Amino acid sequence: MQATPTQRTGKGGFFASLREALRGTEMDFTSGPLGRGILLLAVPMMLEMLGEALFALTDAFFVARLGPAALATVGLTESLLEVVYAIAVGLGMATTALVARRVGEKDRRGAAATAVQALGVAACLGCLLALLGVLAAPRLLRLMGADAATVAAGSGYTRWVYAGIPWVVLLFVGNAVFRGAGDASKAMRALWVANLINMLLDPCLIFGLGPFPRLGLEGAAVATNIGRATGVLYLFSRLARAGPHLALTRTDLRLQPQVVRRLLRLSVGGVGQFLIATASYIGLVRVLSTFGGATLAGYVVAIRIVIFVIMPSWGLSSAAATLVGQNLGARNPERAARAVWLTGVYNMILMGTITLVFLFLSRRIVTLFTQDPAVLPTAAAALRIVSYGYVFYAWGMVMTNAFNGAGDTTTPSWINLVAFWLFQLPVAWLLSRTLGLGPHGVFWAIALAYSLSAVIGVAVFRRGLWRRRQV
């Protein structure tokens, strides 16, 4: 049989596959070349994650013009919003695992039912969290150590951020549906539509350009909410149309308690693993806040840049979740394992390249966001030191996604508990305060924790218990 253009190796085959990845593919990921399968999934997933990171980076770019106090407010608000992200991503991981398994089993009705139930759960959770966040915004800022002036100036921004939580959760879960189905290009487009609107509205609403009102810091939150809401509407419009991987019918719109129970059961582990990781971030912010507002502002700038560059790597590693889930559904665990190891190699190369960039250009990169002499040195040091753990963390991300794709959301929770709570937080305090390394001690603790999580993840994956996971 003669190979099709997209199956051939070489320049023509690669670019044909790249175009297919961006346009949308009908490939069966339970057969065919694994390298091509990873490419078709990873390219839109990387661009999707890049789009997610752009939300934070765009806001940081414009908010930095309002001064260190505004940046500190954003950092405090975002550190608490990380808990919401943990819930959204955890539910999304469960959704991807179940949709991918049903697709691998060629159970289209089961995949569609899972998608509808997941979005219903996301909407209910998002509205509940938004209500709690809006009502408790000033109290939450005080809890994070904000002074009276910061609480007074930042409460409006924080309320607007929390009012947009339903769009956050729905966007994460909606994208998870398409990733599990193997149609990652639609998830990518939703994020880029949302980002385009956010980038256009951010300067207009923050600084009052043209006919727009000058909302200051609150304008950043309003722009982000409008962008995310538009992305969600785009996803719903795509779900309403039958596609090669997913087709909804009216019967899928009814409540199916057994599917909801399965989703919630898997989500507990998914939420737990990210809640553990992101809650440790709150602990790090609390440690860094003891070194002053300028140090915290530097860390906020650095972490936004880190998120921007790590998100594509997370997108690449997310290909492992879809491939593992679908191939386990097709009863082919050996192919699932090969996909994980190959994805790990690709991700290690990507993260190694990012490390080299940060080692030599960290200060120059930071100056794109701030030239404040009190903020710049801390931000540059954070980029450089944290990057030492990236090559290891590349494998850690792939292992986490592999477990989640198999429906084993518990194992990554234990790995994160050990690496980020039992190790990272005590070491951060020890190095920064007891041994006198200051903020640099916190950055070293992050790099070491990344490395530890990868070592544990690879060791547990090699045991192979994930192969027998039923969902």
> What was the pLDDT predicted at 127?
95
- Asked whether residue 162 is assigned to any structural domain, the reply reads yes
- Asked whether residue 135 is assigned to any structural domain, the reply reads yes
Q: Are 96 and 320 in contact (CB under 8 A)?
A: no
Does 312 have pLDDT greater than 70? yes
- Contacts of residue 310, Cβ cutoff 8 Å, sequence gap at least 6: 53, 354, 390, 393
CA angle 416, 418, 420 (to 5 degrees): 55
Residue 428: closest CA among 414, 410, 440, 416? 440
- Contacts of residue 364, Cβ cutoff 8 Å, sequence gap at least 6: none
Q: Can you tell me the mean pLDDT for 119-144?
A: 87
Q: Are 269 and 89 in contact (CB under 8 A)?
A: no
Is 105 exposed, middle or buried (CB count within 10 Å of its CB: 0-12, 13-18, 19+)? Answer: middle
Confidence of residue 10 (pLDDT cuts 50, 70, 90): very low
CA angle 439, 440, 445 (to 5 degrees): 100
- Asked whether residue 2 is assigned to any structural domain, the reply reads no
Confidence of residue 8 (pLDDT cuts 50, 70, 90): very low
pLDDT in tens, 374-408: 889 999 999 999 999 999 999 999 999 999 999 99
- Contacts of residue 215, Cβ cutoff 8 Å, sequence gap at least 6: 205, 206, 208, 222
- Based on its alpha-carbon atoms, the radius of gyration of the chain, rounded to whole angstroms, reads 22
Q: Which domain holds residue 433?
A: 31-468
Please provide the size of the chain in residues.
471
d(CA 186, CA 171): 12
Burial 12-42 (b: 16+ CB within 10 A, else e): ebeebbeebbbebbebbbbeeebebbbbbbb
Share of the chain above pLDDT 70, in %: 95
> What was the pLDDT predicted at 9?
37
Does 129 have pLDDT greater than 50? yes
- Asked whether residue 290 is assigned to any structural domain, the reply reads yes
Confidence of residue 120 (pLDDT cuts 50, 70, 90): very high
Number of domains in the chain: 1
- Neighbouring C-beta atoms of residue 437, cutoff 10 Å: 16
Is 420 exposed, middle or buried (CB count within 10 Å of its CB: 0-12, 13-18, 19+)? Answer: buried
Q: Are 198 and 223 in contact (CB under 8 A)?
A: yes
Q: Which DSSP string do the residues of 299-328 spell out, in sequence order? A: HHHHHHHHHHHHHHHHHHHHHHHHHHHHHH
d(CA 270, CA 408): 9
- Asked whether residue 300 is assigned to any structural domain, the reply reads yes
Confidence of residue 145 (pLDDT cuts 50, 70, 90): low
Confidence of residue 149 (pLDDT cuts 50, 70, 90): low
Does 155 have pLDDT greater than 80? no
Alpha-carbon distance values, 372 to 39, 261, 361, 367 (Å): 41, 51, 17, 9
Amino acid identity of residue 449, one-letter, is A
Q: Can you tell me the mean pLDDT for 452-467?
A: 95
pTM of the model: 0.83
Amino acid identity of residue 264, one-letter, is L
- Asked whether residue 54 is assigned to any structural domain, the reply reads yes
d(CA 299, CA 410): 30
Confidence of residue 453 (pLDDT cuts 50, 70, 90): very high
d(CA 175, CA 177): 5
Q: What is the mean pLDDT of the chain?
A: 87
Q: Are 30 and 332 in contact (CB under 8 A)?
A: yes
d(CA 20, CA 182): 13
- Contacts of residue 210, Cβ cutoff 8 Å, sequence gap at least 6: 204
d(CA 318, CA 344): 11
d(CA 332, CA 317): 20
Does 245 have pLDDT greater than 80? no
- Contacts of residue 214, Cβ cutoff 8 Å, sequence gap at least 6: 206, 207, 208
For residue 442, what are its two tokens? 């916190």
> What was the pLDDT predicted at 147?
65
> What was the pLDDT predicted at 271?
85
pLDDT in tens, 403-425: 999 999 999 999 999 999 999 99
Confidence of residue 455 (pLDDT cuts 50, 70, 90): very high
d(CA 47, CA 193): 12
